[in-house]
Each structure stands twice: as C-alpha cells, then as structure tokens.
A and B are shown apart, each in its own frame.
Chain A
C-alpha cells in the first residue's frame, strides 16, 4: 500500500483516539452526582407509585427530595421506617409522616371480595404494579405478594368490593424491607 493510505489510517486512528481521550476526560469531569442521589433515595421509597406525596410516582418524589423541593415526610405507605432511612441518608432530623398526605396504616394489601366482584375489570388499569388478576365477567383477585397497598384500585370499583387489609405477618412477602 502507498504511504498515503497509511497516513490516512494513522490520522483516522489518531482522531478516534483523541475523541476517546477527550470523552473519557469529560466523563470523569462530569460526575452525575445528583443522579446517583436520586437513585439512592428512590431505592428507599416503597415503590407503591400511589401518588399520596402529590408527585406522579416514587421516582419523581425522589427527584423532588434530592432537589430540596419536597420534605421527606410525605410518604404514608413507607411510614416511619422510610422517613428514618431517608433521614439517615440525607443527614436530617427524622420526623413523623405528615398526616396531610394520608394516615399511616401500617403494611396493608388490597383484598377483593370475590362474592361481590362483578368482573368489570375497571380496577385493572388502576393498579400501578399489575397486581390484580382478572378479565371481563370473571371475578378478580389480588396477588398479595405484588400488591403495594396503594389503594388506587378502591375508587374505580363500582360495587366497592375492594378493601385494604393489614398484611398477616408472613415471611412470604418479598416486597421492600419496610419492617427491617
């Protein structure tokens, strides 16, 4: 091959190497610090996506906490344990959950009275974690292991056959380690 081809290859390789080094340098200079904080806060939230904190879900609430927009006491499903964990993470004073965002009911899951359920399937799209099994004109039921107890299925039910019940203290519940 002629020298020109080698020169072209060398220039292309040098250009690629320069781009690579510049990018590596930029990546080390731009640590996504806030991003990681949001992730860590989000990991402590119960992931009910219930919206009682008045944010659309747990991650937006985590972002709001990280930016200082919202306080840490707005999560009733998480209860005191979550507030305490958040307080430790963010080095703040723990405080009770603000009752304005809902009562702390402890660990609950939804339960459907299958005798009264008419199989309208209206509660299915309401569930943020797809924990309700059912189809049109068949009685629905709740997968207690998946249910986060967010109560979003209560309002759409036309016959009010869904209620939330305290979780029996069984070891089968694989959800977030609230009791821990």
Chain B
C-alpha cells in the first residue's frame, strides 16, 4: 500500500512528467491558453494514460512476451494508444460536443503525446504489475493535469499583465514553464524513490 502511494506521489509530483522529465510538452504549450480547454485536456489525458497503461500491460505480458516479440513493443504500444485516443475522441464527441470543438486537433494529438508512450515503456522496463502500472499511469496523468492547469492559470494572468514587447506570447510562456520546473524541484527528496 505504501509502495503504491509512494509510486503515485513520485509520478505525479517528484518526477512530474512535464516539468521534470520534459515529456508531453506539445499539449502543455498548445492547450494552455484557456482554462476550460486545459481542464478538458487534463481529463482526457488522464483517461488515456490510465487506460493505455492497463492495456499496454496486457499486450506486453500476454501477447508480445509469450511470442518473443519484445522488439516491436514501440509499434504495438503506439497502435494501442492510437486506438485508445480514438475511443476517447468518440466519448468526448458523444458527451460534450462543445469540448470536442474546443480541444479540436489536440485531442487526436494525444496519440503523439510522448508522456503516454513514455508511461507504457517505463512500466515495461521496470517490470511493474497490473495494479502498479495502472496507478503509475493514473498518477502520471494527474501530474500532467496538475502542471497543465497551474501553467494555464499563470498564462491567463500573463495575458492580462504588461509584458515587455520582446517577451510577449511564447517567450514569456516558456520562461514561466522553466520557473515552474524549478519550483517543482522543491518536491525532490519527497518520498525519496
């Protein structure tokens, strides 16, 4: 139990996927202009990450390893993730057409969010069990969502503030992301794992 808790803490805060491992930066910068869109993206990514880590566990342990096909895992995982993302898009379109419109292109782009593939590969490399994989995926998604929402809130404030002309737009956003990454280093040593 403590192990799982530490795993979740580690994946969401200490080794935050965006701010420590620099994975998933595309949606982090792309969908952080408006809070509602960011919240939708965070939820969608959390859903995809959890589902994909469970399914990739099944694929790895029940198909690829018995057949001795460890070397095609990247291809297999990408296929799996693409399927899950498409499923998520179906769900979002059916439940909230407005959110579907807001997220637009970024919803299918979760497929190429390297955090999703990263979680699947890390799970396999560390030889985690099904429950551990699911917890790791979910907390990585939660960490991604946390970072994304905090960053979006900061950017909405930045839009209203008087930024020097040379820094307006992307530059100040990237500087902000860097400062956030520094702040998240404060979590290092928490749980020590």
Seen from chain A, the residues whose Cβ lies within 8 Å of a Cβ on chain B are 4, 7-8, 11-12, 15-16, 19-20, 22-23, 26-27, 30-32, 35, 38, 63
**Interface residue count for B (Cβ, 8 Å)?**
22
Instruction: Determine if B79 and A30 form an interchain contact, defined as CB atoms under 8 angstroms apart.
Output: no
Instruction: Determine if B87 and A8 form an interchain contact, defined as CB atoms under 8 angstroms apart.
Output: no
* With A7-B69, A8-B69, A8-B72: A32-B94 Cβ-Cβ less than 8 Å: yes
What is the chain B residue whose CB lies nearest that of A31? B94
Instruction: Determine if B94 and A15 form an interchain contact, defined as CB atoms under 8 angstroms apart.
Output: no
B67 within 8 A of A: yes
How far does the Cβ of A22 sit from chain B's closest Cβ, in whole Å?
A: 7
Sample of 13 further A-B pairs with CB below 8 A, known A15-B76, A23-B87: A4-B68, A7-B67, A12-B75, A15-B63, A16-B79, A19-B80, A19-B82, A20-B83, A23-B83, A23-B90, A32-B94, A35-B93, A35-B94
For chains A and B in complex, what number of residue pairs have CB atoms within 8 angstroms? 50
Inter-chain contacts of A27 with B (CB < 8 A) = 90
Seen from chain B, the residues whose Cβ lies within 8 Å of a Cβ on chain A are 59, 63-64, 67-69, 71-72, 75-76, 79-80, 82-83, 86-87, 90-91, 93-94, 97-98
Instruction: Determine if A12 and B79 form an interchain contact, defined as CB atoms under 8 angstroms apart.
Output: yes
How far does the Cβ of A97 sit from chain B's closest Cβ, in whole Å?
A: 26
How far does the Cβ of A100 sit from chain B's closest Cβ, in whole Å?
A: 27
Give the residue of A19, A23, A30, A63 whose beta carbon is less than 8 angstroms from that of B94: A30
Instruction: Determine if B97 and A11 form an interchain contact, defined as CB atoms under 8 angstroms apart.
Output: no
Instruction: Determine if A11 and B94 form an interchain contact, defined as CB atoms under 8 angstroms apart.
Output: no
* With A19-B79, A22-B87, A23-B87: A11-B63 Cβ-Cβ less than 8 Å: yes
* With A12-B75, A12-B76, A15-B59: A26-B97 Cβ-Cβ less than 8 Å: no
Instruction: Determine if A15 and B80 form an interchain contact, defined as CB atoms under 8 angstroms apart.
Output: yes
How far does the Cβ of B81 sit from chain A's closest Cβ, in whole Å?
A: 10
Inter-chain contacts of B97 with A (CB < 8 A) = 32, 35, 38
Q: Please, how many angstroms separate the alpha-carbon atoms of A77 and B28 in the complex? A: 43
Q: Please, how many angstroms separate the alpha-carbon atoms of A15 and B75 in the complex? A: 10
